[in-house]
């Protein structure tokens, strides 16, 4: 591990500490928190993988004016997205873990389609060519100094402070949103009534919906909720765990395209933007995993609390992506070394829906569990000692930034 990787780990751990402090400070602002958690857990257990709910929701999505298309895997999703994009050469995109799962941005870039991420953190790591470190805080691992050093080539008068960097990124994002005709986003929930719920903190989704002619929403088949109330409950809990804030900054509820029936009750669609709204429902192994002992994995609401509380992620970084994301990346791309899991169960304890990640990791990883326990702890101790030694050396030599 070189010094830049150590600095990234330190920056990431600082951000995670801030989120945990904010959670502690704000939990009293949600007085019915425990009851909300129980509701969420029950809803996820009952409705994830429920084909009746999915069929009813799809019918309602179509009644509301969405085009709904199914993709069994990433390559089919890409094919459908390319069909929907048509001849467009610029796409504005917002945060979506699902599109990362199918490597959508890289696949579109390879086909000569420019993809501009519109979330500040995502645009930042796109320009820095970094991997995201947290599902909702993708740039948690990069410090202001590192960002400044790498972005100053794009803007000569950039300053090494967060405001100057954000202004630069915003200018770049806004220009692309104004030009693009198609936007792609993920979804936090799809409801039985046929609505799509999307959370965001920066207002970028609002801009995409308002300014692009077509919006393509890519969602997993695990995103269904029986109704809007339960989807909002999930969104509130996700926000709390992901950011420490009691409410999200913005919550878009999209129930089809813009429409009016103001004149003689005749329906006119496409009044404002978007004129077209497409939902692409992606399986990508979900149904198979749900039916083969991993249904619980899809109860996940993507809050990232398992990640920020995972001691293995805190020292190993990208080699072990932490909690649910380590398991998921091992199942999907073999990019996390599951032997590094310490079996400490902190992810389960900190999960709002109580998902047994360590139990599933034990099922998946190879080898004897006693050996894995000793191996993971030995690797953790060596790495933690190494990090502490470097940190101490930097403090002594005045090299901490």
- 244 torsion bin: left (phi>0), alpha (psi -120 to 50), beta (else): left
Q: Are 311 and 344 in contact (CB under 8 A)?
A: yes
Of 214 and 346, which has the nearer Cβ to ligand SF4? 346
Strands 214-220 and 182-185: parallel
Q: Are 11 and 133 in contact (CB under 8 A)?
A: no
Cα–Cα distance for residue pair 178/234, rounded to 1 Å = 32
Of 62 and 247, which has the nearer Cβ to ligand SF4? 247
Cα–Cα distance for residue pair 16/18, rounded to 1 Å = 5
Of 191 and 329, which has the nearer Cβ to ligand SF4? 329
Of 24 and 166, which has the nearer Cβ to ligand SF4? 24
- Neighbour count for residue 114 (Cβ, 10 Å): 14
DSSP class of residue 67? E
Of 74 and 302, which has the nearer Cβ to ligand SF4? 302
- Shortest spacing between CB 365 and ligand SF4, in angstroms: 10
Of 168 and 224, which has the nearer Cβ to ligand SF4? 224
- Shortest spacing between CB 236 and ligand SF4, in angstroms: 13
Q: Phi first, then psi: what are they for 187, rounded to 5°?
A: -140, 145
- Shortest spacing between CB 172 and ligand SF4, in angstroms: 30
Tokens 């149904």 — which residue? Answer: 287
Q: Are 311 and 342 in contact (CB under 8 A)?
A: yes
- Shortest spacing between CB 319 and ligand SF4, in angstroms: 12
Tokens 């669609």 — which residue? Answer: 269
- Shortest spacing between CB 376 and ligand SF4, in angstroms: 7
**Beta-bridge mates of residue 216:** 184, 278
Q: Which of 370, 330, 68, 35 is nearest to 195 (CA)?
A: 68
- Shortest spacing between CB 145 and ligand SF4, in angstroms: 29
Q: Could you list the residues that contact ligand SF4 (CB under 6 A)?
A: 300-306, 310-312, 322-324, 326, 341-347, 351-353, 355, 357-358
Of 66 and 241, which has the nearer Cβ to ligand SF4? 241
- Shortest spacing between CB 53 and ligand SF4, in angstroms: 19
Q: Phi first, then psi: what are they for 376, rounded to 5°?
A: -65, -40
Of 142 and 360, which has the nearer Cβ to ligand SF4? 360
- Shortest spacing between CB 161 and ligand SF4, in angstroms: 32
Coil, helix or strand for 280?
strand
């Amino acid at each position: 591990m070189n010094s830049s990787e150590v600095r990234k780990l330190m920056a990431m751990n600082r951000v995670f500490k801030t989120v945990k402090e904010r959670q502690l400070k704000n939990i009293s602002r949600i007085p019915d928190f425990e009851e909300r958690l129980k509701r969420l857990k029950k809803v996820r257990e009952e409705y994830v993988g429920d084909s009746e709910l999915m069929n009813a929701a799809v019918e309602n999505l179509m009644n509301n004016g969405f085009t709904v298309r199914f993709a069994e895997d990433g390559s089919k999703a890409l094919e459908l997205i390319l069909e929907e994009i048509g001849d467009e050469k610029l796409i504005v995109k917002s945060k979506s873990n699902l599109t990362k799962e199918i490597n959508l941005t890289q696949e579109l870039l390879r086909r000569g389609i420019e993809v501009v991420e519109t979330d500040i953190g995502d645009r930042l790591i796109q320009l820095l060519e970094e991997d995201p470190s947290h599902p909702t805080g993708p740039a948690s691992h990069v410090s202001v100094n590192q960002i400044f050093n790498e972005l100053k080539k794009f803007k000569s008068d950039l300053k090494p402070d967060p405001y100057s960097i954000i202004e630069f990124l915003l200018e770049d994002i806004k220009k692309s949103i104004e030009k693009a005709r198609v936007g792609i986003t993920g979804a936090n929930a799809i409801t039985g009534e046929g609505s799509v719920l999307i959370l965001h903190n920066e207002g970028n989704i609002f801009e995409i919906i308002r300014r692009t002619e077509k919006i393509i929403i890519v969602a997993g088949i695990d995103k269904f909720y029986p109704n809007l109330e339960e989807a909002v409950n999930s969104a509130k809990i996700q926000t709390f765990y992901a950011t420490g804030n009691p409410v999200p900054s913005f919550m878009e509820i999209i129930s089809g395209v813009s429409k009016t029936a103001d004149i003689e009750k005749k329906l006119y669609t496409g009044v404002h933007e978007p004129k077209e709204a497409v939902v692409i429902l992606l399986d990508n192994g979900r149904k198979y995993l749900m039916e083969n002992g991993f249904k619980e994995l899809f109860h996940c609401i993507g809050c990232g609390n398992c990640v920020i509380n995972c001691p293995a992620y805190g020292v190993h970084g990208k080699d072990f992506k932490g909690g649910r994301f380590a398991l998921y990346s091992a199942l999907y791309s073999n990019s996390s070394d599951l032997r590094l899991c310490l079996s400490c169960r902190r992810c389960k304890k900190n999960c709002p829906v109580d998902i047994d990640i360590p139990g599933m990791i034990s099922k998946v990883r190879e080898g004897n569990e006693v050996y894995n326990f000793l191996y993971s702890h030995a690797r953790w101790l060596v790495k933690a000692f190494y990090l502490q030694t470097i940190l101490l050396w930097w403090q002594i030599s005045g090299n901490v930034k």
